[in-house]
Structure 1
Amino acid sequence: MGFKWFKSFMVAALGLFLVSSAQSVFAQHEEHAAGAATEEKFNPGEAILHHIADAHEWHFFSLKNADGTEFHGTIPLPVILYSPQRGFSTFMSSAFHHGTEAHNGYKLEHGKVVAVDEAGTPDETVKVYDFSMTKNVVQMLIALIVLVWLLTAMAKKYKTGQGVTSAPKGMQNAIEPVITFVRDDVAKPNLGPKYQKFLPYLLTIFFFILINNIFGLLPGAANVTGNIAFTAMLGIISFFVILFNTNGHYWQHIFWFPGVPLPVKLLMMPVELLGVFTKPFALIIRLFANMTAGHIIILSFVSLIFIFTEMSKTAGVLFTPVSIAFAVFIYLIEILVAFIQAYIFTNLTAVFIGGAIGDHHYEEDIVTHH
């Protein structure tokens, strides 16, 4: 029953995602064409980057009214600005009217808030610090609330004995195998007897990334894990967790690898030291690139409809089913990728922590015996 509900939910989400993507891309096309003396060609790159970028409002669809004006289905978000010259300024993003108007000395240009003068032109002498609640920030907070609610609700059930003296039920029955998987196949093999110390952290990053990945596949949602700032913070946190748990053997193998000739030591030292920083960098780039690539591919297939339509309306109609079929295929793969990338980030973090806390005496024994 639960599986049938999940399939129905994903089919509905997929349909809304494709409709939302097509509507967003089409709206971009109309905005560029409106008011131009000669109709501009559809720019797929600009439309796709606009769709996956962060924003100061939640945009779902755009409709053209009979009088030629457009209605935008959006949820405005709080804009919080600080300028050394002008002080703090807070208002809702709807005051920008989708970037067409200035408000309180600020204007939205290409998704970025800039200071403007009385004439409405950008004033580069005014420094602006943007602390706004953007789409990515709000969705990340929602994911955090869902994470806390989900895990605390499960903890309460275990305290009452459900899942301990009786079989788990409902959501607990779905989450428990994931927790045991992270414990038995990620934490224990890489961390050994010290796995319990790091298991809460590994479970937190796994579910936090997974929830954000899944939210990013919903129609109109933000692609939070496709934001380099988000993945960078996750990587930096893992970097400090690794550093704070290193021991003498770890640094000995970085700066003066035992049992290795001196010329090789001098050659390996900068390489090993660089590896300390490239490990979290790999975590950052891998998650960011994979989650961004999936959205770009889906939107690229949707954009092909409009590209072929500009060539010929018949070609656009004929290519539409092919484009949608490929978009559906990639979307289904993205559901799998959402789980895989959460697992890879968590597993590599466990591997790097295991390397930092590991006992390297056995390596020295092998070198000595040989």
Structure 2
Amino acid sequence: MGLNGFKCFIVAAFSLFFVFGQNVAFASEEVSAEAAAEHGAAGGEEKFNPGEAILHHIADAHEWHFFTIKKADGSEFHGTLPLPVIVYSPQRGLSMFMSSAFHHGTHAHNGYKIDHGKIVAVDANGNIDESVKVYDFSMTKNVVQMIIALIVLVWLLTSMAKKYAKGQGVNSAPKGLQNAIEPVITFVRDDIAKANLGPKYQKYLPYLLTVFFFILINNIFGLLPGAANVTGNIAFTAMLGIISFFVILFSTNKHYWQHIFWFPGVPLPVKFLMMPVELLGVFTKPFALIVRLFANMTAGHIIILSFISLIFIFTEMSKVAGVAFTPVSIAFAVFIYLIEILVAFIQAYIFTNLTAVFIGGVIGDHHHDEEGHDHH
């Protein structure tokens, strides 16, 4: 990617962030404060468990938890948004109710309860009944946030399409949101699609734009206070990788598979050695897409929460140490948070660019072969 293309990407990234994002540097601090309240000294003896608190807040859940307030009488008020629970069991049939019926995991309802974030069947005494198979189709916070991201994506692109249809941005300069999004679309078209796919870029441009903006919107939402870390969920990235895998497969031709199973122009013994390696490469490409996005987005959240957890760890050692270390911890957390804003754009770009590279790889052999025949 050339210098001008890189500059275009940086400008487009920050333009889009200032349209969508807010300066919410204390997002993860609020999350960790909730973790301290939940896992703090109940009765004055239980110690703060940073590992459990961090994993709890980056995992999916059946309710949207925002804050916890401890009342004067010792009880706690949880600011949560309950979500629909939809479970099916061959033995018990279909059950639908709101997650508030579980009372934050302390009660069972209709023969089910939440055990370590997973809905399980229980017997009349409240014990887990492993003989009952449970299929969970609930609307968890990751699912709800993906739906919200999809709505934003459709609204964003359709509103821009309507403006172009009216001539704005064609006969006149783009304005407002259109002015912020257009450089990003141009960047994906010129520096990702055209650069890797050549004259066939128009066929794949709608998919590449959809993937880029869908990942980007979910990445940005994941940095907002109380939001879900959707792109840090391996199931989400796996589905994106599988979709890209099928797009790559449907783009192949006989020349590509000939290079996989019977590489031309090499000795026969070498062909047998290269065949398993080349075949393995077909599956490692989407696997790389899946793991790269998941690992990078999860790591950033864990690092931020780890810095904030140090406040509570030092406080348990000494209140003076906790107070003294708080500014340092918050400063590092804010620094990592600002980096995560850039990473949100970079990871959307990397996933989309690698997808285009892999697609270009499977259609490139045919292109070169045709050029060779024309030359002869």
Shared topology, TM-score over 0.5? Answer: yes
- Report how far residue 56 of structure 1 moved: 0.3
- The one-letter code sitting in structure 2 at the alignment partner of 1:149 is W
Structure 2: how far apart are the matches of 1:122 and 1:8?
Answer: 44
The equivalences for 1:137-176 within 5 A come to 137-176=143-182
Picking from 9, 14, 34, the partner of 2:25 is 14
- Report how far residue 249 of structure 1 moved: 1.1
Whether the 8 Å CA contact 1:305–1:320 is kept in 2: the answer is yes
Q: Deviations over 1:205-232 (max 9, x none)?
A: 0000000000000000000000000000
- The one-letter code sitting in structure 1 at the alignment partner of 2:199 is P
Using a 3 Å threshold, how does the CA distance of structure 1 residues 362 and 18 change in structure 2: closer, same or farther? closer
Using a 3 Å threshold, how does the CA distance of structure 1 residues 126 and 326 change in structure 2: closer, same or farther? same
Structure 2: how far apart are the matches of 1:272 and 1:324?
Answer: 48
Aligned to 1:317: 323
Aligned to 2:365: 359
Are 2:33 and 1:23 aligned? yes
- The one-letter code sitting in structure 2 at the alignment partner of 1:301 is F
Picking from 34, 40, 62, the partner of 2:42 is 34
Aligned to 2:307: 301
Using a 3 Å threshold, how does the CA distance of structure 1 residues 8 and 187 change in structure 2: closer, same or farther? closer
3-state SS of paired residue (2:25):
helix
- The one-letter code sitting in structure 1 at the alignment partner of 2:296 is N
Q: Deviations over 1:231-266 (max 9, x none)?
A: 000000000000011011111111111111112111
Aligned to 2:61: 55
Are 2:244 and 1:238 aligned? yes
- The one-letter code sitting in structure 1 at the alignment partner of 2:22 is M
Structure 2: how far apart are the matches of 1:360 and 1:79?
Answer: 50
Structure 1: how far apart are the matches of 2:19 and 2:337?
Answer: 13
- The one-letter code sitting in structure 2 at the alignment partner of 1:34 is A
Using a 3 Å threshold, how does the CA distance of structure 1 residues 56 and 201 change in structure 2: closer, same or farther? same
Picking from 291, 302, 306, the partner of 2:297 is 291
- The one-letter code sitting in structure 1 at the alignment partner of 2:42 is A
3-state SS of paired residue (1:10):
coil
Picking from 106, 109, 134, the partner of 2:112 is 106
Structure 1: how far apart are the matches of 2:38 and 2:341?
Answer: 27
Structure 2: how far apart are the matches of 1:363 and 1:270?
Answer: 23
Q: Deviations over 1:316-335 (max 9, x none)?
A: 11100000000000000000
Whether the 8 Å CA contact 2:62–2:82 is kept in 1: the answer is yes
Q: Deviations over 1:103-125 (max 9, x none)?
A: 11111111111111111111111
Relative to the length of structure 2, the TM-score reads 0.92
- Report how far residue 82 of structure 1 moved: 0.4
Structure 1: how far apart are the matches of 2:149 and 2:196?
Answer: 28
Whether the 8 Å CA contact 1:216–1:222 is kept in 2: the answer is yes
Using a 3 Å threshold, how does the CA distance of structure 1 residues 152 and 345 change in structure 2: closer, same or farther? same
Aligned to 1:131: 137
- Report how far residue 61 of structure 1 moved: 0.5
Aligned to 1:191: 197
Using a 3 Å threshold, how does the CA distance of structure 1 residues 365 and 206 change in structure 2: closer, same or farther? closer
Picking from 113, 123, 140, the partner of 1:117 is 123
Using a 3 Å threshold, how does the CA distance of structure 1 residues 225 and 361 change in structure 2: closer, same or farther? closer
Whether the 8 Å CA contact 2:83–2:99 is kept in 1: the answer is yes
Whether the 8 Å CA contact 1:24–1:51 is kept in 2: the answer is no
Structure 1: how far apart are the matches of 2:143 and 2:22?
Answer: 24
- Report how far residue 133 of structure 1 moved: 0.1
3-state SS of paired residue (2:195):
helix
Structure 2: how far apart are the matches of 1:6 and 1:281?
Answer: 32
Q: Which sections of structure 2, spanning at least 5 residues, go unmatched?
A: 1-13
Structure 1: how far apart are the matches of 2:371 and 2:213?
Answer: 39
Structure 2: how far apart are the matches of 1:121 and 1:42?
Answer: 27
Q: Which sections of structure 1, spanning at least 5 residues, go unmatched?
A: none
Q: Deviations over 1:265-299 (max 9, x none)?
A: 11111000000000000000000000000000000
Aligned to 2:91: 85
Aligned to 2:221: 215
Percent identity for Structure 1 against Structure 2: 82
Q: Deviations over 1:49-78 (max 9, x none)?
A: 000000000001001111111000000000
3-state SS of paired residue (2:22):
helix
Are 2:76 and 1:70 aligned? yes
Aligned residues: 359
Using a 3 Å threshold, how does the CA distance of structure 1 residues 363 and 260 change in structure 2: closer, same or farther? farther
The equivalences for 1:319-334 within 5 A come to 319-334=325-340
Whether the 8 Å CA contact 1:58–1:135 is kept in 2: the answer is yes
3-state SS of paired residue (2:73):
coil
Whether the 8 Å CA contact 2:19–2:180 is kept in 1: the answer is no
Whether the 8 Å CA contact 1:259–1:364 is kept in 2: the answer is no
Using a 3 Å threshold, how does the CA distance of structure 1 residues 362 and 83 change in structure 2: closer, same or farther? closer
The equivalences for 1:196-275 within 5 A come to 196-275=202-281
Greater shift after overlay, 58-67 or 258-267?
Answer: 258-267
3-state SS of paired residue (1:80):
strand
- Report how far residue 19 of structure 1 moved: 3.9
Aligned to 1:344: 350
